[in-house]
Structure 1
Amino acid sequence: MAALLKSLLAASEKAASIAQLCRQEEALFSLLIEEKRGVDKNKKFLQDFKTLADVLIQEVIKHDVGKKFPELQDHIRGEESNKFENGLGETVVVQVCPTQQETAALLQKVLDRKQTAAKLLAAAIHQEVELSDSALDDVAVTIPTESMAMWIDPIDSTNQYIRGRGNVKPVDGIYPSGLHSALVLIGAYDRHSGEPVLGIINEPFFKEDLQASRWQSKYHWGISYRGTNISSLSQPLLRSAPRVVLSSNEKVVLQKALTPLYGEQLCFASGAGYKMLCVALGLADAYVLSEGSTFKWDTCGPHAILQSLGGGIVDLAEALKAWRAGPHNLLPELTYNQPVQGALGAERWANQGGLVAYIYREHLEAVMDTLVAAVDTF
C-alpha cells in the first residue's frame, strides 16, 4: 500500500503541475476549453466545461499508475472522455504516448498545431516526480490491489478553475470561490463492497509565490481499511460553535431548516471536493447537499480521507428514511461500485440522494434530527 500511495501522490503532484501550467500560460489557456454537450453535461450548471487539462490529468494518472500496477489498469475510471475536439473540427483521442516527442505531436493536433504549447504540456506529462515525504515510508497497511478500483476527478470545480481568481480572501478560513477550490481528487475503493479505501486530495493552487508568479501545491491523504485508519491529517477538534458549509445555490428550504442548528454559522463555498476538504480540515463540521449534483468521482477520495479521521459521507435521502424508521445506529454511507439503474451518461454515477459529509457522529446526528424535525420534504 505504501508503494501505491506514493505512486498516486506522485501522479497527483504531476496533475497539479499540469493544472498550474494551463492557468499560467495565458495563450495556452485560451485554447483549452470545450463545452460539454448532451448526457455528459452536468445539469447543475448552465455551462459545464471540459478542459484539455482535465483530460490530460486523467490520462496521466491512468498511465502512470497503470504502468506500475497493471492489475489496476482496467479499473481506473474518470469523469472525462479522452476524446477532444480541436478548433479545426477534428476529434483526437488524447493519451500518453511512449515518448515525450510523440505526446507533443499528438497534442499539436488538439492545440490547432500550436507547437510551443504542445511541447510545454508534453514536458509536464513526461516529467519524473520525486516525493520527499518520509511519513510515507511508515505506511504499513496491506491491501490487495487486485480487488481495488479507482475514481479520478482530474480537476474538481472546473468552472472555478477556468474563471476563478487567485486573490479571493477566505472567510474564517474558507474560500467562498476562486482557484483554491479547484482540486485533484483520487479515490480507491473495494470493487466488491464499494467501500472507499484510499483517498487523495491535491490542492494545485494552495499558495501563490507572487515573486515567481507560480503556484505551490499541497496534498492530503487517508487510508481506511478493515478498522485500520491512517491519514496525513489529524482529527480536528470539536468546535464550540458548530459550522456547516453549503453550496452557494443550495435550496433555501434546506438553509432555513439548518438555521436553528447553525444560526450564523452557515458558510458557502464552491466545489464539492473543496467543501469536503473543509470538513476534513476542521474548518466546517458538516457539508450538507440536498441535490444529486455530485458524482462518484467527486466523493470517493474525500470519503476515504473522512473515514480515516473517524467520519464519513452518508446518502442524505436514504439516511433520513433510516432516521425516521430507527434505530439510528447505522446510516447508509455512499458506495462506489454500482451505477444508478436506468440513468444515462454521467447521471449513472450521480449521488442522487444528496449527502452529508462529517467527522464526528454527533454532528451527523444533529443534522438528521434538525432536518427530520424541520420538514418532511427531504
Structure 2
Amino acid sequence: MADLLRLLLRVAEKAANVARVCRQEAPLFELLVQEKTGDDKNKKFVQDFKTLADVVIQEMIRHDVGAQFPEMADFIQGEESNKFENGLGESVTVTVCSTVEETATLLATVLDGDHTAASLLARAIHQDPETIELSTDGLTIPVSPAELGIWIDPIDATSQYIEGREEALTEGHLSPSGLHCALVLIGVYLRSTGEPVMGVINQPFNHKSPTGGGWSGKHYWGVSLGNINVCSAPRPKDGQGLSVVLSSSEKPVVKEALTSLCGPDKLMYASGAGYKILCVIQGLADAYVLSERSTFKWDSCAPHALLRALGGGVVDLSKSLQSSCGGCDCKTELTYHQPYAECKGAERWANRGGLVAYKNSSQLHSITEALKGKL
C-alpha cells in the first residue's frame, strides 16, 4: 500500500505539471483562455479545451495506476467523460498511448490538427516528475489494492484555474480565490463500505518564483484505516472560537445562523470545494459548511481521507441535522461506493445532502445545533 501511495503522489505531480504547462506554453495557454476574446470561429472547440486539460490528466492517472495495479483498473473513476467531438464532427476517445508520438497523434485529432499544441500536451503527459520523498516509516496497511477504488478530480476549481489570478499566499491565512485554489485530488476508498482510506492533494500553484522560475507546487497526503491514521499535515491546533469557511453563494439562512454561532469575523469565503476542505486540514478554518448538493464524490474523497487521519471527517449535512448523535456517526459520514440509482450522469455521484467538513466532533455538534430547523 505504501507503493500505491508513492504512485499516487507521483501521478498527482505529473498532473500538476500538465496543469502548469497548459498555462506556461503559449499555444496551450491561448486555447485555454481563448474564449475571453469572443471571436474564435469555433466556440465548441474552445469550450472543449478546458475539459480536455481535465480529461488528459484524468486519463493519465487512470493509465499509470492501472498499469501498476491492474486489479484496480476498472474501479478508477473521475469527473470527466473521455469522449470528444472535434470540429469535423468526429467522435474521439481520449486515452494515454504507449509513446509520446502516439498520444500526440491522438490529441491532434481532438485539437482539429493543431500538432504544436498536441505535442506539447503529449510531452507533459509522458514526462516523469522527480522522485517525491515519502517518509512512511514502514507504513503497512492491511488491505489489498483489489479491495479499493479511486476517485479523481483532475483540476478542482477549474474556473479559478482558467481565470488564473496570481494571488499571493500568506502563511496562516486563507486566501479566497486565485490559482492556488485549483487542486489535483486523488481519493482512495474501500469498495465494500465506501470508507475513504487514502488521499493525495496536489496544489500545482503554491509558490511562484520571484526570479521568473515559474510555479512550484505542494502536496499533502493521508491514510486512515482502522487504527492507522497518518497524515503529512500536522494536526490542526484549536484556535480562538469557531471559524467556518463557506461558498459566497451559500444560502442567507445558513450565513445568518453561522454568524450567530461564530460571529461575523469568523465566517470566511473561498473558491473550490477541495480548497475549502484543505483549509480545514491546514487549520485555516475549523469547518466547511455547504447546504447545496453542488459537490460530488470526486470533490470530497481525497480531502476526506486526510481529515479522518487528523481526527475529523466529512458528513452529510442533511443526515446530520436528523441525527440524534450530534451529527457525527457512521450513518452520517460520506461514503464513496454507491451511486444514486434513480439519477443520471454526474448527479448519480452528488453529495446530495450538502456536507460539513470538520476538525472535531464537538465543533460539528455546535454547527448542526445552530442549523437545526433552518434548512
* Alignment TM-score, normalising by the size of structure 1: 0.91
Say what the alpha-carbon RMSD is for the aligned residues.
2.1
Deviation at 1:329, TM superposition (A): 6.1
- Counting only pairs closer than 5 Å after superposition, residues 263-274 of structure 1 correspond to structure 2 as 263=263, 264-274=265-275
How many angstroms apart in 2 are the aligned matches of 1:285 and 1:327?
Answer: 17
- Counting only pairs closer than 5 Å after superposition, residues 35-184 of structure 1 correspond to structure 2 as 50-136=50-136, 138-167=138-167, 173-184=173-184
Deviation at 1:328, TM superposition (A): 6.1
Q: Answer whether contact 1:6 1:131 (CA < 8 A) is retained.
A: no
Aligned residue in 1 for 2:308: 307
How many angstroms apart in 2 are the aligned matches of 1:329 and 1:98?
Answer: 46
* Distance of aligned partners of 1:257 and 1:183 in 2 relative to their CA distance in 1, 3 Å threshold: same
* Distance of aligned partners of 1:313 and 1:49 in 2 relative to their CA distance in 1, 3 Å threshold: farther
Aligned residue in 1 for 2:232: 232
Q: Answer whether contact 1:6 1:136 (CA < 8 A) is retained.
A: no
Q: Answer whether contact 1:2 1:137 (CA < 8 A) is retained.
A: no
Q: SS of 2:239's equivalent?
A: coil
* Distance of aligned partners of 1:245 and 1:137 in 2 relative to their CA distance in 1, 3 Å threshold: same
- Counting only pairs closer than 5 Å after superposition, residues 186-197 of structure 1 correspond to structure 2 as 186-197=186-197
User: Percent identity between the aligned chains?
Assistant: 54
Aligned residue in 2 for 1:341: 341
Q: SS of 1:55's equivalent?
A: helix
How many angstroms apart in 2 are the aligned matches of 1:297 and 1:312?
Answer: 16
Determine whether 1:257 maps to 2:262. Answer: no
How many angstroms apart in 1 are the aligned matches of 2:281 and 2:111?
Answer: 38
Deviation at 1:34, TM superposition (A): 11
Give, as a single letter, the amino acid of the residue that structure 2 aligns with 1:198: M
How many angstroms apart in 1 are the aligned matches of 2:306 and 2:134?
Answer: 19
Q: SS of 1:294's equivalent?
A: coil
Q: Answer whether contact 2:27 2:116 (CA < 8 A) is retained.
A: no
**TM superposition outliers: structure 1 runs of 4+ over 6 Å:** none
How many angstroms apart in 1 are the aligned matches of 2:327 and 2:84?
Answer: 47
How many angstroms apart in 1 are the aligned matches of 2:172 and 2:250?
Answer: 20
How many angstroms apart in 2 are the aligned matches of 1:115 and 1:354?
Answer: 43
Q: Answer whether contact 1:50 1:80 (CA < 8 A) is retained.
A: no
Deviation at 1:182, TM superposition (A): 0.5
Structure 2 gaps of 5+ residues are: 36-46
Q: Answer whether contact 1:181 1:271 (CA < 8 A) is retained.
A: yes
* Distance of aligned partners of 1:90 and 1:168 in 2 relative to their CA distance in 1, 3 Å threshold: farther
Q: SS of 1:362's equivalent?
A: helix
Q: Answer whether contact 2:253 2:374 (CA < 8 A) is retained.
A: no
Q: SS of 1:30's equivalent?
A: helix
How many angstroms apart in 2 are the aligned matches of 1:171 and 1:261?
Answer: 26
Q: SS of 2:298's equivalent?
A: helix
Q: SS of 1:217's equivalent?
A: strand
Aligned residue in 1 for 2:319: 318
Deviation at 1:88, TM superposition (A): 3.9
Q: SS of 1:230's equivalent?
A: strand
Deviation at 1:93, TM superposition (A): 1.1
Deviations 1:235-289 (Å, cap 9, x if unpaired)? 1100013210000111111000101221121000000000000000000000000
Give the count of matched residue pairs. Answer: 362
Deviation at 1:159, TM superposition (A): 1.0
